Amino acid sequence: RLVLNCTARTELNVGIDFNWEYPSSKHRHKKVVIRDLKTQSGSEMKKFLSTLTIDGVTRSDQGQYICEASSGMMTVKSNTSVRVHEKPFIAFDSSMESLVEATVGDRVKVPVKYLAYPTPEIKWYKNGKPIESNHTIKGEKELVITEVSEKDTGNYTVILTNPMSKERQSHMVSLVVNVPPQIGEKSLISLVDSYQYGTTQMLTCTVYSVPPPHHIRWYWQLEECAYKPSHAALMTNPQTCTGWRDVDDFQGGNKIEVNKNQFAIIEGKNKTVSTLVIQAANVSALYKCEAINKVGRGERVISFHVTRGPKVTLQPHAQPTEQERVSLQCSADRTMFEDLTWYKISSQALPSHAGELPTPVCKNLDALWKMNAYKFTNGTSDILIMELQNASLQDQGDYVCFAQDRKTKKRHCVVRQLTVLERVAPMITGNLENQTTSIGETIEVSCTTSGNPPPQVTWFKDNETLVEDSGIVLKDGNRNLTIRRVRKEDEGLYTCQACSVLGCAKVEAFFIVEGAQEKTNLEVIILVGTAVIAMFFWLLLVIVLRTVKRANGGELKTGYLSIVMDPDELPLDEHCERLPYDASKWEFPRDRLKLGKPLGRGAFGQVIFGQVIEADAFGIDKTATCKTVAVKMLKEGATHSEHRALMSDSRSSFILAIISMWSIF
């Protein structure tokens, strides 16, 4: 359905006639409804309204629509174009950007370019999350970021939704926020440093920028040209040098070398580190590093003050604590220098903004406070000592030792920064957690402490001091406790206590040990292991000896009988079957042996006279028809032990000799 309204306003006494011209007016079958209404709009004007309505719009209704209003004396026309689409559609214009670059601080506007019918719903997302409009970012028909920052970098997606067909189309725009070079060291407010004559020094510039810098270059010029006292008196920057020279032209200055740039991730950002190495500090100078990328430049000016003068030391250590006795000592060769003096730098000597080049300390005496000190001589050196009996936080700051050259009367100064740490009572970060473990496992706990002065850490078990042994290990100043091969007796209440002169802090935890106690002591393990190894070697020895004996038994000399056996290994009935000799050579049937009278008796055996009848065996004369032998045998009713005794005696060479003797007989 197409509805067009045409409105006219006239004076009270004027009438209006409306006339419509439209593309389908020639098609009589097309039903068009035109309604003219008169409404009162005010005390002096009348409002007339004509409405044209076409139901079932087709492509033939596309075109120019003209509304004509006539009062008889005056005619006014108004027109509009109507485009009829076959169906709802939605599409992004090809001219819409996919990549937008901006510099930090810019105002960014990304219009949504599309073709659609009907008007779509528009929603913006950043990295997949809906964008909530606020005072810095708005997203509707165009994405607007009033003051872009680096955190706005990302992928922005706009989604169009057709309200009729529910069709969705998306387009992603990548926003890249460029950052001019920023030099990290400029954010630190520091005084002019003094460098000892002849030493090797290193100056650095740590640069962060998006994109990374095209190049980082170093320049230098003499320090004397930089300072104008009149500017310092007016509280303006007294550094007005313009004659910068490339570091390759070091004639008249220090010999220097620029190292190759290095890249490092610092604080989660990719940064470029450029290093200038001064091989020998001979001349005071100003050095400048300059970094440039496609959206800007950054620079840092470094005051390099070289002194042959005094040396400063801090006692007792570099970072004293409140209420400690602190001593600053300035020493110089008294044959070359005189008038040693200690000063403290006031806030007027500091740069008003981070990165601003400070006024050289040696040339700005009005910003210094003279300090009380005493001097003594040690060999060829004068030593000026400034003492702080009970250092406080108010004593923090930068101190300068002045010395004047005896010949040239030139002043030399050395700056030393004093930092006093605040006294802090011991604290334990976090709590120990109760633990349940099994016997034989390992327990590891940490007790993280803080405080100044650093506290001493002590462990207790059931209110008794815990000491190291074979299973308990304390590391990192007793901060880490490890219990190895946990035993049942390790169960109990453990306390970590951190103490200093300012008090103590403690945390507790209860360790529960589950399971039955097992003998897992190292001593028991060693004993059991030793016994097992000894048993193994004993069995191995027995097997070897048995093997050797049996092997030797099989190597009998021809003509000798050897009976080697263990009666306990087999029943006596089976011994004869396992004797280690040739049975056909040493044995003959029992019925060939005729026994006679006894020849002698012993504790368990007896020897009997015997005759061998036609038998063939070792030591029997084959030519004789009757052979006489001595037969050793058991007594009647012999016991099992006597059986074994006989077999044992049968191995004796004495028995063999008897057999031979009686054989001769």
pLDDT in tens, 457-510: 999 999 999 988 878 999 998 999 999 989 888 999 999 999 999 999 999 999
Output the domain CATH number for residue 168.
Answer: 2.60.40.10
Q: Three-class SS string for 50-111?
A: EEEEECCCCHHHCEEEEEEEECCCCEEEEEEEECCCCCCEEEECCCCCCEEEEECCCCEEEE
> 362-371, 558-567, 613-622: which has the minimum mean pLDDT?
558-567
pLDDT band at 656 (very low <50, low <70, confident <90, very high): very low
Q: Express each pLDDT in 370-397 by its tens digit.
A: 999 999 998 888 999 999 999 999 998 8
Q: Which residues of 209-229 are buried (b: 16+ CB within 10 A; e: fewer)?
A: bbebbeebbbbbbebeebbbe
* pLDDT at 225 exceeding the cut of 70: no
Same domain, 501 and 532: no
**Of the candidates 460, 466, 462, the residue with the CA atom closest to the CA atom of residue 506:** 460
Q: Express each pLDDT in 92-131 by its tens digit.
A: 999 999 999 999 999 999 999 999 988 899 999 999 899 9
Residue position matching structure tokens 């334990």? 428
Same domain, 233 and 293: yes
Same domain, 281 and 330: no
Could you tell me what percent of the chain has a pLDDT over 90? Answer: 37
Output the domain CATH number for residue 634.
Answer: 3.30.200
* pLDDT at 355 exceeding the cut of 60: no
What is the phi/psi pair of residue 535, to 5°? -60, -40
Contacts of 327 (CB under 8 A, 6+ apart): 314, 315, 316, 385, 386, 387, 388
One-letter amino acid at 532 equals: V
Q: Express each pLDDT in 53-67 by its tens digit.
A: 988 888 888 899 999
Residue position matching structure tokens 């016991």? 639
Q: What is the mean pLDDT of the chain?
A: 82
Same domain, 492 and 546: no
Tally the domains of the chain: 7
Is 31 among the domain residues?
A: yes
Same domain, 9 and 68: yes
* pLDDT at 359 exceeding the cut of 80: no
Is residue 447 left, alpha or beta, with left meaning phi > 0 and alpha meaning psi from -120 to 50? Answer: beta
Domain end: 48, 82, 116, which one? 82
Greatest distance between any 2 Cα atoms in the chain:
184
pLDDT at residue 235 in the model: 42
Residue position matching structure tokens 């008889």? 72
Domain end: 307, 327, 346, which one? 307
Q: Express each pLDDT in 228-273 by its tens digit.
A: 545 444 444 445 567 889 988 888 888 888 988 999 998 889 999 9
Cβ atoms within 10 Å, residue 160: 20
pLDDT at residue 250 in the model: 80
Is 557 among the domain residues?
A: no
Sign of the Cα torsion 571, 573, 577, 578 reads positive
Is 173 among the domain residues?
A: yes
Q: In what order do the strands lie in the sheet with 368-370?
A: 368-370, 337-345, 397-405, 411-418
- Average pLDDT of 135-143? 85
d(CA 223, CA 240): 11
Same domain, 130 and 161: yes
- The CA angle 45-48-54, to the nearest 5 degrees, is 160
pLDDT at residue 494 in the model: 94
State both tokens at 590.
Answer: 């029992």
Same domain, 576 and 647: yes
**DSSP 8-state secondary structure symbol assigned to residue 414:** E
pLDDT band at 407 (very low <50, low <70, confident <90, very high): confident
Cβ atoms within 10 Å, residue 465: 10
Q: Express each pLDDT in 592-604 by its tens digit.
A: 778 888 888 777 7
Is 437 among the domain residues?
A: yes
Q: Express each pLDDT in 163-218 by its tens digit.
A: 989 999 999 999 999 999 999 887 765 555 578 888 899 999 999 999 999 999 99
Is 559 among the domain residues?
A: no
Same domain, 242 and 299: yes
State both tokens at 138.
Answer: 């708005």
Quote the domain boundaries for residue 74: 2-82
Same domain, 115 and 34: no
Same domain, 205 and 236: yes
* pLDDT at 568 exceeding the cut of 70: no
Same domain, 302 and 203: yes
- Average pLDDT of 518-527? 67
Query: DSSP states of 110-146 as a string?
Result: EE--EEEESPPEEEEEETTEEPPP-SSEEESSEEEES
Could you tell me if 259 and 202 are in contact, meaning their C-beta atoms sit under 8 angstroms apart? no
State both tokens at 93.
Answer: 């214009």
Could you tell me if 342 and 399 are in contact, meaning their C-beta atoms sit under 8 angstroms apart? yes
Same domain, 200 and 301: yes
Binding site membership: which residues? 632
> Which tops the pLDDT comparison, 39 or 322?
322
Binding site membership for ATP: which residues? 632
**DSSP 8-state secondary structure symbol assigned to residue 268:** T
Could you tell me if 54 and 61 are in contact, meaning their C-beta atoms sit under 8 angstroms apart? yes
Three-state secondary structure call for residue 624: coil
Domain end: 367, 396, 418, which one? 418
